[in-house]
Amino acid sequence: MTASTHPRIQPVDRALEPALRARVDGKAKPPGSLGRIEDLAVQLGLIRNSLAPKVERVVLLVFAGDHGLTEEGVSRYPASVTAAMVATFLAGRASVNAFAAAAGVEVRVVDAGVAADLPAHPDLIAAKIRAGTRNATREPALTRMEVDTALARGAELAASAIMAGADAIAIGEMGIGNTASAALIMHRLAPAALDECVGAGAGQDEAGMVRKRAALARAASRSAATHPHEVLSEFGGCEIVMMAGAVLGAAAQRRPILVDGFIASAAALAAIRLEGAARDYCVFAHRSAERGHARLLEAVDAQPLLALDMRLGEGTGAVLAAPLLRAAARLLSDVADLSEVVPA
């Protein structure tokens, strides 16, 4: 899946937008009274090319991978925590499991590149590209072939979930060190000054931030890449590239993609830079408290649905936004028209 062979995305057909707007405005409510839910309803109608889109079954794909950048002290936690958290997801005991149960979202965990041999589990999708990326301060994190493979596998996983009945795909991640990778991707693809992109991640102290900034400056100085495929090769994580592929795969199937926080948004940014039309299909779930996320959202002209000062990852913000997608779709399909309530 090179830059010329990744899934081609068709922009939504905006010819239906006036009819969707009229349908929303004709519901039994004052025009505009449901605010951004009305805009979301229109977006869902355009994605599905329908005046009554259905969004009930939402599947969250949590992509897990490790990063060679952790050798530089960019995280306060060791890489082994990634595998430990995957085990917690599979046991149903992580924050995202609790939130997904509350929101009626199905969770699938994907081993995109964990630096450990994970035991087989019915809810674990084995899709490992390699056992963690290379150290991007010294060499490209991934080969071009590995990027191609990760994009393809992400697209295939999203398409498979849709073929099995998913109405929407949500993307989340787990990977110690992946805010560092995401910051480098944002730096080149937003683009934005590196300092604007680097945050505390999983709670770095000031000494840790000094190490993180220095490491990312070394990585950035090693390569001048700006093409999205090259940027993913130089700085990407297996889980980040696979999330970008999932965005492309779901968009190719004309399904909405619920994008989680900073790291998932960096993956969506890469997908959008590869295929601009993918932006039409992305719904940005929340604004993370991670430094850089607000600026990243500006780069893709996105206003997220929620702002809860969260910065956990895992897909937690995406699953909390899933009921808003269902509500917006039901506005179009279930709410009475004003003419039914107030006859002429």
Please tell me the predicted confidence (pLDDT) of residue 203. Answer: 66
Tell me the whole-structure pTM to 2 decimals: 0.95
Q: What is the DSSP letter of 309?
A: -
339 inside domain: no
**What is the rounded CA–CA span in Å between residue 252 and residue 247?**
9
Contact 124, 248 (CB under 8 A): no
CA 5 to chain centre: 21
CATH no. for residue 236? Answer: 3.40.50.10210
30 inside domain: no
42 inside domain: no
Q: Print the domain residue range for 154.
A: 58-325
Contact 171, 246 (CB under 8 A): yes
Q: Shortest CA distance to 101 belongs to which of 326, 275, 320?
A: 320
10-residue block means of pLDDT along the chain (344 residues)?
66 96 95 96 98 97 97 89 97 98 98 97 96 97 97 97 98 96 98 92 76 94 97 98 98 98 98 98 96 96 96 96 98 93 76
Please tell me the predicted confidence (pLDDT) of residue 274. Answer: 97
Q: Shortest CA distance to 215 belongs to which of 18, 36, 68, 23?
A: 68
251 inside domain: yes
92 inside domain: yes
Burial class (CB in 10 A: 0-12, 13-18, 19+), 282: buried
DSSP H helices in the chain = 17-25, 36-48, 80-90, 95-103, 144-163, 178-189, 194-197, 206-222, 228-235, 238-252, 262-274, 293-299, 316-334, 338-341
**What's the domain count of the chain?**
1
109 inside domain: yes
What is the set of active-site residues?
314
306 inside domain: yes
Q: Shortest CA distance to 10 belongs to which of 59, 41, 44, 46?
A: 46
Please tell me the predicted confidence (pLDDT) of residue 272. Answer: 98
Contact 108, 92 (CB under 8 A): no
199 inside domain: yes
